[in-house]
Chain A
Amino acid sequence: MTTKRKLRALLAMLFAFALIAAACGGSDDEDADAEESTDTTVEAEETTTTAPPAPEEDGSTGGTLIWAHEQEPPDMHLDDPNNNLSITSWIRRALLEGLYGVSAATEYYPELLAQEGEVVDNGDGSFTINFVLRDGLQWSNGDALTASDVEYTWNIFSEGCELEDDGTIGDGTGCVYLAGDRTGLDLISDFTVVSDTEFSVTMVQFFAGWKALFDEIYHPSFGADATEINENLREWSNADGIFVSSAPMIFDSWERGVSFNMVRNDSYHGSASPDARNDGVAFVDGVTISWVADTDAQINALKAGEAHIIMTQPQLAFGERLATDENFTVASAAGPVFEHWGLNLLNVHLAKPEVREAVAYGIDKSEVMAGLYTPLFGESLPAEGLGNTFWMSNQGPYENHQSKYDGNNVDEAAAALESAGYALNDDGVYEHPTDGVLSLRVGTTGGNRLRELQQELIQAQLANAGIDIVIDNVDGAAYFGERPFSEEALAASSSGGAEGDPTIWDITQFAWVGGPWPGGQAASYLGGNGNNPYGFANDAFDARSPECDSTIDDAERAACYNELDTYVTTLDNGDDGLFMIPLTQKPSFYGYLSSVLSGAGVAPDANDAGPLTNVVDFQFAG
């Protein structure tokens, strides 16, 4: 046999081997799916106490929903300040329920509670809130979920804390349980269990965000003490095995870098969410979160049938590749995460209210929305952009406080600048006789094309108004540490420029997170607050903020937050206002196989609950 023949034979063998191997891969794929499904069914039968729900007319029970997502959590301990990632809370939403849940309309609803908590004014400045749990609550192992479990959760939160004279945990000194934020919990002075379903919590003063407390209840098996639970939460398991659940899913396994797997909780007591159409146990056998690091690869995984649902950062490619394909459904909705331009009040130009007003006049939010957001997100966002930093457009109390700046207002911008002594120079840019050319740097976390396009669009708008904008982004999270939240910048902000370096940044663009209780937002604007980068220090605002938080009536409190917002988004309350220009809400953005998820009701909400918020409703086509 000649060399050529041998080579041909070798090539033929290699080709044949490749085909056989590929065929093995393909068939194994199908077999694996079948095995997985069968295994899950067996497990479900062994642990079932409730029969699976009857299928919807257009759907069926069973099957494992695969969600391809980019960011894998470092662990499952959400209260660890290193791990305040949304993905962790999204997963835990499917595993644990709390006293209150958050609806798609970004409003609280009683989740484990039978009714709204009753707030009682004790007359001495303290308040007691009486809670009643729903009947029939149970854990996935069949244990009843009772008030003792809530008490256990509180005991874990407060273990080791050095108590103040009034019985509260104070600033958290000595606390063993890892928590980056003890806001509200630090006001609790007493926790009393009345019965299996009734308990009361006493706070030394009213706390407007009380419904956000105890948003997850732990089972005593999670750990004997806070030290143990800190460890166990990371892997969602204790020495006896995986944690029990109180939500539609149970943790099954976590293969780092590959997938996170959950199976149906057949002992689930049913959802109280106003958005849920299924009040029984989940339709699907389980949910697998497949870690796909790249957004384009996620789209490919979806198109290749390896994932059923993806949720990415809003981006142009997503809409272009999926929205035009009838096999896929793209859904989006407004939520509590909002993009803004924050102005540095210590900048020599931006310190002048006329300049800030000129910037607000110069930005045409409607054009930004029409050019960038509406084509992608349709009518889910207001066409005129966002005009409030406390309430979002989909929330009842929302008011647009920047409506006077809507549209293209170059003349008004020019008038404002000229009233402050600016004049146009030969380059078409306004210049101040002592403070120089009106050139401002805007920075954000580089690499997000949608944000960058937005910057470029506003840059062009402000150029028409005679304001020079220089884009000065920093890649990734380093932006925050290097610019608005650098030690030097924060020192300058909290000292009014006496310390630190106020020139590190001029304008910042990033997203803040609101929610059903927007009071926490005020901390970013309080004078001297270590996390207030804007240099805003207004005594009236600082005094009004706690007053709002202590207003018991929901409607009055909502109005109070609207009043607070006028301090930061308008000049109505003084010349130091209008340093925040909210631009738009950042929508959640889902894509899913329309042929597979028939009427699954993938909730396109962005209330920080993620796509698993209505996991109980997920259903495959019949």
Chain B
Amino acid sequence: MFAYAVRRLLTAIPTLLFITFVVFIAASQVTDPRDRLRGNANIDQSAYDRITELYDLDRAPVERYALWVADVAQGDLGVALSHGEVPVSEVFWDRLGNTMLLTGPAFILLTIIGAVAGVYSALRQYSFGDYFTTTIAYFGLAMPTFFFGLLLQVVFAIWLPNLTGFKPFWSSGMHLDSFGQYLSSVTLPVATLILILLAADSRFIRASVLDLKSADYVRTARAKGLSERNVVRRHIFRNALIPAVTIWSINAGLLFGGALITETVFSWPGLGRLIIDAMFAADLDVVMAVTVSIAVIVVLMNLLADLLYGLLDPRVRYD
């Protein structure tokens, strides 16, 4: 398994290079940190020259990309123009931690709720509960993240306190003074993140369980006299987890991607807001750092999923 993991990691390098190349070239075509200097009639030429030199803007994008790769290989992620020209790594790790505070609970809750809702819907197919969870799932699928986030703010941070005098949640911002404050500020953005992805999660697991319910080995298990509880737990649920691992690994990447909008709506100072601010500031080094991090997370989660297949399904071998 170790050799397989190493092999997979090595094969991920060209993928990462391709992703970063495309993003770098595209971003460098549409962003120029000197843009903000334009429109100021009195700006000194020396200001242009300084930025040109700092970011090698006098070189071709491909050449700049090569320089960037060389720097990253040595652990230098560049200079964060949008943060007072401090090293990108200083900003990045701080923001990554904040994003984990948001996406971590979201991932765990999404996984649990998605699995419970999916299994319940499948086992109680066409029941009221099935229709209810299906409705909630499709509601989340249809609801734009941006709108749903603002809706939660209005309902739980404005209307509810106005009606009851009880204000359980912050409408925006990250508050870490205490665990209670953290829960107060993280609940609404986590709910937003979860609802958007819940549909795919629960529907995927529901379909998987429905398939397994009529599988030959499940019928055999029932024929052997196993209780329904044991049939579900040992023969259906565990096997339903195998394809679910795939969607969970995808969710990890989607949560980071979805955090872009959620963090903006809820003013959560994570990677999502960082990259959006960086794009507005034409801060290419920060944009690249965040892009690479998301790509790496997706690659690692896919690798983790592949390794988990082996644990969940003995038929899988890493040859």
- Where the two chains meet, the residues of A that have a C-beta atom closer than 8 Å to any C-beta of B are 3, 21-29, 32, 68, 72, 74-77, 81-84, 171-173, 175, 179-183, 234-235, 256-259, 290-294, 296-297, 300-301, 303-306, 476-478, 480-481, 485, 510, 520-521, 523-524, 529-532
Contacts and interface: CB of A to CB of B under 8 A. Distances in A.
B173 interface: yes
A339 to B, nearest CB: 14
Interface in B13-65: 30-47, 50-51
Interface stretch (B130-138, B174-182, B216-224, B304-312): B174-182
A258 B173 contact: yes
B77 to A, nearest CB: 16
A480 B39 contact: yes
Nearest to A485: B38
Contact of B44 (A77, A182, A293, A294): A182
B46 A32 contact: no
A53 B110 CA distance: 54
B184 A29 contact: yes
A177 to B, nearest CB: 11
B300 interface: no
Given A74-B281, A182-B44, A297 B94 contact: no
Contacts of B12: none
Contacts of A81: 37, 40, 43-44, 47, 50-51
Most buried by B among A22, A521, A529: A22
A84 B185 CA distance: 32
A297 B81 CA distance: 26
Given A292-B267, A294-B265, A173 B46 contact: yes
A235 B84 contact: yes
Contact of B98 (A77, A257, A521, A530): A257
Contacts of B44: 81, 171-172, 179-182
B281 A172 contact: no
Contacts of A520: 41-42
Contact of B150 (A76, A290, A300, A480): A300
Contacts of A182: 44
A304 B180 contact: no
Given A22-B187, A172-B46, A294-B264, 9 more contacts: A27-B180, A32-B178, A171-B44, A179-B44, A257-B98, A300-B157, A301-B172, A480-B35, A510-B39
B8 interface: no
B150 A296 contact: yes
Interface string B180-199: 11011101000000000000
Given A84-B40, A297-B266, A477-B280, A21 B180 contact: yes
B167 A29 contact: yes
Most buried by A among B38, B161, B270: B38
17 contacts: A25-B168, A28-B184, A81-B47, A82-B33, A171-B46, A256-B94, A258-B174, A292-B172, A292-B267, A300-B150, A303-B158, A477-B35, A480-B39, A485-B35, A485-B39, A531-B40, A531-B41
Please list the 9 inter-chain residue pairs (A to B) with the smallest Cβ-Cβ separation, ordered nearest first: A257-B269, A25-B184, A75-B84, A24-B180, A22-B168, A81-B47, A523-B41, A485-B38, A481-B35
A479 B91 CA distance: 28
Contacts of A521: 41
A180 B39 CA distance: 12
Contacts of B154: 300, 303
Nearest to B80: A74
Question: SS class of chain B's interface: helix, strand, loop or mixed?
Answer: helix
B36 A82 contact: yes
A22 B160 CA distance: 13
B318 interface: no
B291 interface: no
B157 A304 contact: yes
B36 A477 contact: yes
Nearest to A525: B41
A181 B42 contact: yes
A27 B168 CA distance: 9
Contacts of B280: 476-477
Contacts of B161: 304-305
B38 A297 contact: no
B268 to A, nearest CB: 8
Contact of B229 (A3, A26, A234): A3
B276 interface: yes
Given A29-B181, A300-B158, A480 B38 contact: yes
Most buried by A among B42, B91, B161, B229: B42
Interface string B84-111: 1110000100110010000000000000
